[in-house]
Amino acid sequence: MKITLKDGSEKLYDNAMSVIDIAKDISEGLARMACAGEINGKVVDLRTVVSEDCQLNILTFNDEAGKAAYRHTTSHVLAEAVKRLYPNAKLAIGPSIDTGFYYDFDIESFDRAALDELEKEMKKIIKEGAELERFTLPREEAMKFMEDRGEPYKVELIRDLPEDSVISFYRQGEFVDLCAGPHLMSTKGIKAIKLISSSGAYWRGSEKNKMLTRVYGTAFTKNADLDEYLAHLEDIKKRDHNKLGREMELFTTVDVIGQGLPLIMPNGVKIIQTLQRWIEDEEEKRGYIRTKTPLLAKSDLYKISGHWDHYKDGMFVLGDEDKDKEVFALRPMTCPFQYYVYKASQKSYRDLPLRYGETSTLFRNEDSGEMHGLTRVRQFTISEGHLIVRPDQMDEEFKGCLDLARYCLKTLGLEDDVTYRLSKWDPTNKEKYIGTEEIWEETQGRIRNVLTELNIPFTEADGEAAFYGPKVDIQAKNVYGKEDTMITIQWDAIIAEQFDMYYIDQNGDKVRPYIIHRTSMGCYERTLAWLIEKYAGLFPTWLCPEQVRVLPISEKYHDYAKKIESELKDNGIRSSVDERAEKIGYKIREARLDRVPYLLVIGQKEEEEGLVSVRSRYLGDEGQKPLDTFIDDICKEIRTKEIKKIEVEQ
């Protein structure tokens, strides 16, 4: 048989051989590094026997699939360690994930000391170096096998498989686990491990099921790589908006108010207010006109739009359809409200495009398990807009929406942190959507052409479209690697008919417009969370709740400090004076902890000569400057929304 390797070279063998034996024939070093194989594009176990011509790639830890096999093997080592130390624990599932692996157990939660003990036992198992042996059983025998071992969760998993299934297991020493693989050849191939944390997780992700204990861990082939990752985790803890945002008093949550209903505190409000004013001004420059519409409406409105049929479970409904004459719902979107602004008067083709913008407060009944800080909430405010356009204007207006979104990202310093996704309908589940297949294929194709023309790299995803049209989703990941949609731009060729929207064309005929649903910057709460994590709370000066703090070295200079503060505020600079009877070194440290970008230290010389001694987070001690010079410099920095590089250690 002929084996074609990744580099195009070929190997000829007279007999069938396993992947690991082929790897050994290529190089003993490669075999030692091998984690899995890939035959004609399909990931396979190293024990897989190759019996015919194929393309073969030996996967190592440097390959994503190889890394997954390595870490999945480590999850089995964790499970064995748990069974050794806690024989009554029941095994659930233990997959690899992007950051390592986890395993769910039916057992009480583990504290840090228990995790450390498990880690020691894992290292002992690794040192023993047991070979991993794969074997299979028919479904009925597999169920009995796991019943005899007292593993009800494994039995449930097997029972859900077809009756004619052949079930695979892996054995390492005395430990056996239900698993499809692939796995390393032995546990001794694992080099560097760490158990990260323990938390609760519902069996099969359903809150109707029992809460299990999930243990997260990670594994690398080198201790240096593990150390680097652990340092990264420490940095994540410093940047986590859910922790840092509370420490900085940007927001808080209260149980009696409810999950997903954050209280934005004065410092956080100042940042959001700054963002909102900037966005509204920028949209006005780009031809948007503003609306203000109600926070709730009768169910009749949502029935016309289709949200009642397609999105009702995600809405907060006020009233009972079976009893009440009128049923209302808090709005999850603004679009149908703005349609009636459009319909208030007849429009000509000359009136289009019409660009409506609104800073909209919206409500969505998110699942309680999805709530997280500011990124997943039930009430939020969004830079929402709807463009009513002629079909011939659609491409250019869509480009304009993309341009606005990209401008916002660039100004905030976030343009390199996002990816673009063309979110399409799912043609195998047409009942989720309205409109014909022809409309969907045409509109998806036109978005694809726009993205290609603008040289924007993008991926495509089936089933992620809105029920009325495809969209571009601009995605970003938080510090933990979870991806969220930050900005969305949707193409709608359908809804206008449902609302009987039209314009009069040059021939005097009624024509349906197209609609673009878009956000310019997205949800303000989620953007604030993003900025907290991006900058670890050290926001660009123009966004800082407090931009300058004046620090008099003694009470004698309070009047001069107040004069400076007054001039700063007259120039629109957010500032304060620290009049406390504390030493100047203490005041400086406190201001740095509060993440104020500029400190103005003043004493006798500064007062006599009209100077300020400037300390900044960017350059450290910048020396003395005339107050007017400092004001000119910082006003320019704020006006241009400059993102300055921090060149000194904090």
Q: Supply φ then ψ for residue 285, to 5 degrees.
A: -60, -30
Residue 335 annotated as lining a ligand binding site: yes
Q: Which of 191, 177, 87 lies closest to 132 in space, CA to CA?
A: 177
d(CA 69, CA 583): 58
d(CA 624, CA 106): 65
CB contact at 8 A, 595 and 538: yes
d(CA 46, CA 20): 5
Produce one character per residue of 552-590: b if its CB has 16 or more CB atoms within 10 Å, e if not. Answer: bbeeebeebbebbbeebeeeebbbbbbeeeeebeebbee
Peptide bond into 626 cis (omega under 30): no
Residues contacting residue 194 through CB under 8 Å, at least 6 positions apart: 119, 217, 218, 219, 226, 230
Q: 3-class DSSP state for residue 133?
A: strand
Q: What share of the chain is helix, strand, coil (3-state, %, to 5)?
A: 40, 30, 30
203: left (phi over 0), alpha (psi -120 to 50) or beta: beta
Q: Which of 433, 522, 441, 454 lies closest to 484 in space, CA to CA?
A: 522
d(CA 30, CA 624): 62
d(CA 104, CA 91): 7
Cα dihedral 301, 303, 304, 307 sign: positive
HSE at residue 634, side-chain half, CA atoms within 13 A, is 31
Quickly list H helices, 254-296.
266-285
d(CA 159, CA 343): 57
Residue 401 annotated as lining a ligand binding site: no
Q: Which of 326, 302, 300 lies closest to 312 in space, CA to CA?
A: 302
Residues contacting residue 62 through CB under 8 Å, at least 6 positions apart: none
d(CA 416, CA 401): 18
Residues contacting residue 15 through CB under 8 Å, at least 6 positions apart: none
Two structure tokens written together for 127? 């040192």
Residue 386 annotated as lining a ligand binding site: yes
Give, in degrees to the nearest 5, the angle at Cα 74 between 72 and 76. Answer: 80
Report which DSSP code applies to 142.
H
Annotated binding-site residue numbers for Zn(2+): 335, 386, 517
Binding residues: 335, 386, 517
